[in-house]
Structure 1
Amino acid sequence: MPKYNRNFDLSLEDVDMLEAALNVVKRDLSLGRKGSLALLPNVEGDDHVREIDELLGRIHNQKIFFRPSDEPYVSG
């Protein structure tokens, strides 16, 4: 049985591309287009949209958001 590669060398552009592709597949599934189901692995309960949402959330949580520290921050 093959082992998984635990070292990834992805650029920021690669992660953005993966995020965009996941959003497209999620949109298609939400609209009832079942063509993209053939591309997805089997998941428990066949709730692909939920799995994609959780993966997109994990990608979002790994991003580091910051604001400038050299001047007062004013939102809006």
Structure 2
Amino acid sequence: MPNFNKMFELDLEDIRLIETALRHAASSEREDGIDPKAAQSLLGRLHNQKIFYRPKSGVYISG
């Protein structure tokens, strides 16, 4: 029986495209079988896996 691939080679643009498609699927009631709650859940899991940069020393100013 084959195993699942656990290593993906996706760059930031790939992730951005996936997130945009999932947001579109979650925001509209579509007839293609995509559950909006499942799409929103997947978006949340993708967000939680991101590593956000914040300097350890000094004052952090966003923007």
Give yes or no for TM over 0.5.
yes
> Across the two proteins, how many residue pairs are aligned to each other?
62
Tell me the residue number matched to 2:8.
8
Q: Structure 1 runs of 4+ off > 4 angstroms?
A: none
Tell me the residue number matched to 1:18.
18
Scaled by the length of structure 2, the TM-score of the pair is 0.73
Scaled by the length of structure 1, the TM-score of the pair is 0.63
Gaps of 5+ in 2: none
Gaps of 5+ in 1: 41-47
Percent identical among aligned pairs is: 40
Larger Rg: 1
Distance 1:74 1:5, change over 3 A: closer
Superposition CA RMSD, Å? 2.3
The one of the two structures with greater contact order (alpha-carbon pairs below 8 A, sep at least 6) is: 1
Distance 1:56 1:72, change over 3 A: same
Between Structure 1 and Structure 2, the one with more helix by share is: 1
